[in-house]
Chain A
Amino acid sequence: GNSVTQMEGPVTLSEEAFLTINCTYTATGYPSLFWYVQYPGEGLQLLLKATKADDKGSNKGFEATYRKETTSFHLEKGSVQVSDSAVYFCALNTGGFKTIFGAGTRLFVKA
């Protein structure tokens, strides 16, 4: 079946460090891929998305590239800030109603 695997957290970084959160997926066909972010006490917000192979989604300095050959959609940011501390979810949709979410990766950024 379809699934999403994210790196386990928490990830702890100093401000201005480079961030990578790994995400790999298993899916039939050509899924759409998403990253969502959840700040403490809030719901999830769509951060970025990509709908076909080699697409790059980007928003607020975050980027992720849809790599079909490695079935990956890793999230990157060149210089993290304390305000980026949150839980990040990778997700996929294969065209049906259901979206499959990863378990989430908690990021802590220290000043």
Chain B
Amino acid sequence: DVKVTQSSRYLVKRTGEKVFLECVQDMDHENMFWYRQDPGLGLRLIYFSYDVKMKEKGDIPEGYSVSREKKERFSLILESASTNQTSMYLCASRERDRGLGYTFGSGTRLTVV
């Protein structure tokens, strides 16, 4: 069964910490995405990557960066965590054909205290 795996289901971090969220896919997909999901705001795109070492800003990139050194792995980095980054973070991947839809990971619920 094809899979997108996020390294942690739940994380609690302190304000100011540097936080790494990891995502690995085993489907050889070119495209990978990071979203955050908040009540009343839906899914918002943070960053995406269309190839190794390639990245593009989404709608809310401020306070985040990403890294894609290998095709299967896409990391989201919170440079200095703040309480307003408490959220559910969802990683997704997709083949190059945009008509095929995303495969999502199970999500990481991050709490910044």
Contact = CB atoms under 8 A, between A and B. Distances in A.
Contacts, number: 52
Contact of B99 (A44, A93, A101): A93
B38 to A, nearest CB: 11
A96 B104 CA distance: 18
B45 interface: yes
Interface in A23-62: 32, 34, 36, 41-46, 49, 51
Contacts of A89: 42-43
Contacts of A98: 45, 48, 58
Given A42-B106, A43-B6, 12 more contacts: A32-B99, A36-B102, A46-B102, A49-B99, A89-B43, A97-B50, A98-B45, A98-B48, A98-B58, A99-B98, A101-B43, A102-B42
A103 interface: yes
B95 to A, nearest CB: 12
Contact of B42 (A32, A42, A95, A104): A104
B42 A43 contact: no
Given A43-B107, A44-B90, A104-B42, A99 B102 contact: yes
B104 A44 contact: yes
Q: How large is the interface on B (under 10, 10 to 19, 20 to 34, 35 or more residues)?
A: 20 to 34
Interface of B: 4, 6, 31, 42-43, 45, 48, 50, 56, 58, 90, 92, 98-107
Interface in A90-111: 93, 95-99, 101-104
A4 to B, nearest CB: 10
A69 B48 CA distance: 32
A40 to B, nearest CB: 11
14 contacts: A36-B101, A36-B102, A36-B104, A42-B107, A43-B90, A44-B43, A46-B102, A46-B103, A49-B99, A89-B42, A89-B43, A97-B31, A98-B48, A101-B43
Residue from the set B31, B45, B98 with the largest chain A CB neighbour count within 10 Å: B98
B42 A96 contact: no
